[in-house]
Amino acid sequence: MASRSHRKPPPENSNAGYHSKRRIPYQLKPSALWSHTKRRRFNSNSQTVTPDTNNPSRSNRFEPFRSSSKSRRKKRDEKSIRSSIIEDCSSRRWAFSSTDCSNYKDKVVVVSYNILGVDNASKHMDLYPNVPRSFLDWDRRKGLILEEIDNYSAGILCFQEVDHFNDLDYLFQNNGFKGVYKARTGEALDGCAVFWKDNLFTLLDQEDIEFQRFGLRNNVAQLCVLEVKDDELESDACALTKVTSSTKKRRFVIGNIHVLFNPNRGDIKLGQVRLLLDKAYKLSQKWGSIPVIIAGDLNSVPQSPIYEFLASSKLDIQLHNRRNISGQLDIQSNSRVFRSQIGDEASFSMSISRQVLYQWSIEELRLATGAAGVTHLQHHLKLCSAYSGVPGNNRTRDDIGEPLATSYHSKFMGTVDYIWHSEELVPVKVLETMPIDILKRTRGLPTEKWGSDHLALVCEFAFVNNGNVS
């Protein structure tokens, strides 16, 4: 999540649960539903999703009479600029895979969304100096979030920073969703929630992870096994392919996580990610080696060792500074230059030197790897990032295809949110984030159109074979 505070992180040896919303400032470089159609029209052009929102009525206010024509012109200009920003920010475009996906029949739309906890927002108002207070009101924001989700025809929702689950459960039940919630341990009030379309999926299995039980702070994660229902074929866009008698039912694991923020505790952050991937793999094997989707706020940038671990399935942690495992401290305030832009040869030289420069204690290694003395991490899932797998443009994507920014407030603009998938799935399309120039013009999220200080990530996946599991 994007940080809710600009205060200095707590001491490294503190045992107190550090609030995951705390974030240091830095700035980036610009650079489900199951569906069935007999024939999917593949269109390389972008499509636009425009939230259909009803703006809350504004109270009438008396204003002093100004006779100055200059003042009136200024007000007109400000109104024009505001209208332009609202128009720009009300649309996000779909980007489509360069691969012909027309033969893939079974699809699911997955959303990952840090919805900004009510308690977190109220405790860190300094992060939203340019955001009207009415835009932070939960009753208003929850309506915007619901209307936004409606536009995506989503089948699965992974929410982070949820502290009003009952509100969301009521709203989304009315839209045909069922959900499960896991609150964080300790004093924090928020947690994670997974929702799925009840007419499309059945929950077969569920596992909650309390990282506190492993000495990894108070964050939590969720794992669910979902199965497509047989009684599909509705008349609307949510229709599923009718499963034939020769095709086994499709099942898959969906994971949802909100990783610790504290950039100094890379050992704990890495341990949380490592534990989630290990449990997701075991759950996949338990149900017959089914596909896996991992969504959430990793509090790590795309140029980080944590990202490398997810993408490559392995990591030699001796080559990395514990304080820079998430990549947060590699990026200076107001700098648009990433360490990852250094040439491969230079990066390799730097990595070699780290074997000498960076030492991990026995306890740090135990937290990061799960065993004292182990320095090499490896997970068994072959994961790909959904967004990096679909071509985008340099107004919204970085050099490796990740969004330039998934979160924006006064002290942070960057990417910390992701959707990962195993190789049995292929991304058909993803919803682009907003271009950096347009995002900056808002002066911070939430806005009149968007209900959180994060942007929802949305991907439609297709299954690449008929064999998934029964």
Q: What is the 3-state secondary structure (H, E, C) of 263-293?
A: CCCHHHHHHHHHHHHHHHHHHHHHCCCCCEE
Q: Extract the tokens encoding 112.
A: 């990952």
Task: Report whether pLDDT(389) > 60.
Answer: yes
Mean pLDDT of 339-355: 38
For residue 349, is it within any domain? yes
**For the whole model, what pTM was predicted?**
0.78
| Per-residue pLDDT, 302 | 98
Host H or E run for residue 417: strand 417-422
- Taking only the tens place, the pLDDT of each residue in 410-463 is 989 999 999 999 999 999 999 999 999 999 999 999 999 999 999 999 999 999
Residues 6+ apart with CB under 8 A from 346: none
Confidence of residue 51 (pLDDT cuts 50, 70, 90): low
Closest alpha carbon to 33 in 453, 438, 469, 429: 429
421/253 Cα distance (integer angstroms): 10
Q: How far is CA 165 from CA 115, 193, 413, in A?
A: 11, 8, 27
For residue 32, is it within any domain? no
| Per-residue pLDDT, 191 | 98
Q: How far is CA 1 from CA 157, 261, 300, 374, in A?
A: 17, 7, 9, 29
Whether 364 contacts 267, CB under 8 Å: yes
What is the chain's mean pLDDT, rounded? Answer: 81
Q: What percent of the chain has pLDDT over 70?
A: 70
384/406 Cα distance (integer angstroms): 18
Closest alpha carbon to 234 in 262, 199, 281, 185: 199
Side chain identity, residue 306? I
52/69 Cα distance (integer angstroms): 36
Confidence of residue 240 (pLDDT cuts 50, 70, 90): very low
For residue 53, is it within any domain? no
Task: Report whether pLDDT(39) > 70.
Answer: no
Task: Report whether pLDDT(20) > 60.
Answer: no
CA 320 to chain centre: 24
DSSP string, 30-63: --------SSPPP--S-EEE-----PPPPPP---
Give the CATH number for residue 132: 3.60.10.10
Q: Is 179 left (phi over 0), alpha (psi -120 to 50) or beta?
A: beta
For residue 196, is it within any domain? yes
For residue 41, is it within any domain? no
Q: Extract the tokens encoding 152.
A: 């995506």
For residue 123, is it within any domain? yes
Whether 187 contacts 117, CB under 8 Å: no
Q: Which of helix, strand or coil describes residue 74?
A: helix
| Per-residue pLDDT, 88 | 54
Task: Report whether pLDDT(77) > 80.
Answer: no
For residue 61, is it within any domain? no
State the total domains in the chain: 1
- Taking only the tens place, the pLDDT of each residue in 183-204 is 999 999 999 999 999 999 999 9
For residue 432, is it within any domain? yes
Task: Report whether pLDDT(238) > 50.
Answer: no
**Residue 153 is part of which domain span?**
92-463
DSSP string, 279-333: HHHHHHHHTTS--EEEEEE-S--TTSHHHHHHHHSEEEGGGS-GGGTTSGGGS-T
CB atoms within 10 A of CB 212: 15
CB burial class (10 A; 0-12, 13-18, 19+) of residue 373? exposed
